[in-house]
């Protein structure tokens, strides 16, 4: 344990206090289950845009991406970020269909287009696994950062952070999440821009930074890295991360929570532009971080610690405080969204399936209790995480893409696929994609290809087994 830094610790405490105060205010504004789940379907363009941006930029983006650049160079642009931006572009074109279906969770949409209510709990379980893994990696990133910069032991700090996340999300639902995201998204963009400007000026300009980055290892500036990616591997990465955007529960919730189709389209388009710029800045910041640490003779074994070490060992305290605010903003804004998604998925997509007559108050209580449960269990796992942030991120990307990409997109645009075939495809893709990834991709064949192949085969078998007829009106089955 390093010495406690009072400046960083005070910044952290003040920031969390402000977040908790917003959560308390949001609690007073949350009167119905619709308020808690979808902001009363009254989310305007500014709030929706910054909520989407803040949700998208997380510990993966700030700590994980910068760590990945430190280890493997700019190749992350090829394997991950291109896929994410492609996913946002495609999400824009399905907004009309999502709004016309008039459902606010992904399992609801799947049930509507397939006619099978059984799809709701099955899809809900996959989404819960994804959100829970996301919570673990967010908490891991937050704990690593705050421990490194404050000197407070990780095993204590992780519970403090987890507790704050749980409290303000439980208090106000999407009202808390949206307003804290507005604060955090704005802080994040401004602070990351200022941090990059400082680093670039300190090193001597963008050209000098890239020249020194390439001098460390020419492979760091290669599109596929220094043997990190093959062409097939890069394509698999693009597909995997592309497939996560539409199939994220929180993205569907935000589209449904907006006050109109026009607002939904504006917020996705505007967020896409902001995020494209943000990711370019983060990649450049990753290169500058690597150069600065290399020049200072500072090496880290855990790549997730590259940026925290830069803050504590290289940057002046005043600059470090600004960067800490940016990173905390990214981590908090994404974690509260996943906690909120856990609550909705458990109450709406699983509990409501088995108890369709549950009252709105009962469903809101189930949302809050499940938010607490998944938050506490994720925090406990994050005390000793099972992998790096980017490894966890890649695993859940394979899970979501394998389970949902083919069946959901096909069901939206081709309504004559039997609902049973869609459900079978979701199960086959999730199980085989996830299993292949856990086996560490035998024979070097990407797990996302195995998952998508299994989903496609299951669709074909399902069509043969159940025939090709228009999807019936959803009924409880």
**419-436 average pLDDT score:** 91
- The reported pLDDT for the residue numbered 228 is 60
Within-domain flag for 427: no
Residue 473, pLDDT > 60, answer no
- The reported pLDDT for the residue numbered 430 is 92
Look at 386 and 109; give whichever has higher pLDDT: 109
Q: CATH number for the domain including 73?
A: 1.20.1730.10
- The model carries a pTM of 0.79
By residue count, the chain amounts to 477
The count of structural domains within the chain is 1
CA dist 326 and 320 (Å) reads: 10
Look at 188 and 35; give whichever has higher pLDDT: 35
- The reported pLDDT for the residue numbered 474 is 47
- The reported pLDDT for the residue numbered 263 is 93
User: Number of helices and strands (H, E) in the chain?
Assistant: 22, 0
pLDDT band at 456 (very low <50, low <70, confident <90, very high): very high
Within-domain flag for 418: no
pLDDT band at 367 (very low <50, low <70, confident <90, very high): very high
pLDDT band at 229 (very low <50, low <70, confident <90, very high): low
Domain enclosing residue 270, as ranges: 6-389
Lowest mean pLDDT among 153-157, 214-218, 459-463: 153-157
| DSSP reduced 3-state for 259 | coil
**Residue 389 structure tokens:** 């942030």
**197-223 average pLDDT score:** 89
Residue 328, pLDDT > 90, answer no
Q: Would you say 33 and 236 are in contact if contact means Cβ atoms under 8 Å apart?
A: no
pLDDT band at 251 (very low <50, low <70, confident <90, very high): confident
Within-domain flag for 476: no
pLDDT band at 1 (very low <50, low <70, confident <90, very high): very low
Within-domain flag for 472: no
- The reported pLDDT for the residue numbered 315 is 82
Within-domain flag for 297: yes
- The reported pLDDT for the residue numbered 388 is 73
| Residue 373: how many other CB atoms lie within 10 Å | 14
Structural element, H or E, at residue 278: helix 261-295
- The reported pLDDT for the residue numbered 374 is 93
Sign for the pseudo-dihedral over CA of 141, 431, 344, 258? positive
CA dist 241 and 84 (Å) reads: 5
**178-185 average pLDDT score:** 80
Residue 21, pLDDT > 80, answer yes
| DSSP reduced 3-state for 139 | helix
Within-domain flag for 38: yes
- The reported pLDDT for the residue numbered 60 is 67
- The reported pLDDT for the residue numbered 427 is 93
Q: Would you say 44 and 182 are in contact if contact means Cβ atoms under 8 Å apart?
A: no
Within-domain flag for 193: yes
Q: What percentage of the chain has pLDDT greater than the value 90?
A: 21
**346-355 average pLDDT score:** 93
Look at 205 and 60; give whichever has higher pLDDT: 205
Q: Would you say 353 and 117 are in contact if contact means Cβ atoms under 8 Å apart?
A: yes
276-301 confidence digits (pLDDT tens): 888 888 888 899 999 999 998 888 88
Within-domain flag for 445: no
**410-433 average pLDDT score:** 87
30-77 confidence digits (pLDDT tens): 888 888 888 888 889 998 898 888 877 766 677 778 888 898 888 878
Q: What is the mean pLDDT of the chain?
A: 84
**82-100 average pLDDT score:** 84
- The reported pLDDT for the residue numbered 29 is 84
**422-441 average pLDDT score:** 90
- The reported pLDDT for the residue numbered 346 is 94
């Amino acid at each position: 344990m390093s010495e406690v830094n009072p400046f960083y610790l005070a910044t952290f405490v003040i920031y969390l206090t402000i977040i908790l105060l917003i959560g308390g205010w949001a609690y007073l504004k949350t009167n119905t289950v619709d308020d808690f789940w979808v902001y009363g379907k009254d989310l305007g363009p500014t709030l929706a845009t910054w909520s989407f941006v803040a949700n998208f930029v997380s510990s993966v983006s700030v700590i994980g991406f910068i760590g990945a650049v430190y280890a493997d160079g700019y190749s992350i642009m090829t394997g991950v970020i291109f896929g994410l931006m492609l996913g946002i572009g495609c999400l824009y074109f399905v907004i009309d269909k999502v709004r016309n279906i008039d459902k606010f969770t992904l399992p609801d949409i799947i049930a509507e287009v397939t006619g099978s209510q059984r799809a709701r709990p099955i899809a809900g379980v996959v989404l819960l696994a994804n959100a829970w893994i996301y919570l673990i990696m967010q908490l891991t990133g937050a704990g690593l950062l705050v421990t490194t910069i404050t000197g407070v032991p990780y095993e204590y700090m992780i519970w403090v952070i987890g507790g704050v996340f749980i409290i303000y999300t439980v208090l106000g639902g999407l009202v808390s999440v949206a307003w804290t995201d507005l604060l955090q998204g704005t802080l994040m963009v401004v602070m990351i821009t200022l941090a990059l400007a400082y680093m670039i000026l300190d090193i001597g300009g963008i050209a000098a930074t890239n020249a020194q980055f390439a001098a460390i290892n020419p492979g760091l500036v290669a599109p596929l890295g220094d043997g990190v990616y093959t062409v097939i591997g890069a394509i698999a990465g693009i597909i995997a991360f592309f497939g996560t955007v539409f199939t994220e529960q929180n993205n569907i919730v935000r589209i449904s929570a907006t006050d109109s189709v026009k607002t939904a389209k504006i917020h996705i388009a505007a967020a896409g532009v902001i995020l494209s710029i943000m990711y370019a800045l983060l990649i450049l910041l990753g290169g500058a971080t690597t150069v600065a640490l290399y020049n200072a003779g500072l090496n880290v074994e855990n790549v997730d610690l590259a940026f925290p070490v830069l803050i504590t060992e290289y940057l002046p305290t005043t600059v470090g405080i600004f960067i800490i605010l940016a990173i905390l903003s990214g981590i908090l804004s994404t974690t509260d969204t996943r906690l909120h998604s856990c609550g909705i998925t458990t109450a709406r997509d699983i509990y409501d399936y088995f108890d369709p007559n549950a009252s709105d108050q009962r469903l809101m209580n189930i949302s809050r209790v499940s938010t607490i449960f998944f938050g506490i269990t994720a925090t406990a796992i994050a005390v000793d995480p099972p992998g790096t942030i980017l490894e966890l991120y890649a695993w859940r990307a394979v899970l979501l893409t394998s389970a949902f990409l083919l069946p959901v997109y096909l069901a939206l645009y081709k309504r004559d696929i039997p609902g049973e075939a869609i459900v079978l495809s979701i199960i086959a893709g999730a199980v085989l994609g996830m299993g292949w990834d856990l086996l560490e991709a035998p024979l070097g064949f990407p797990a996302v290809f195995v998952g998508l192949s299994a989903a496609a085969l299951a669709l074909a078998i399902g069509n043969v087994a159940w025939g090709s007829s228009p999807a019936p009106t959803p009924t409880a089955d």
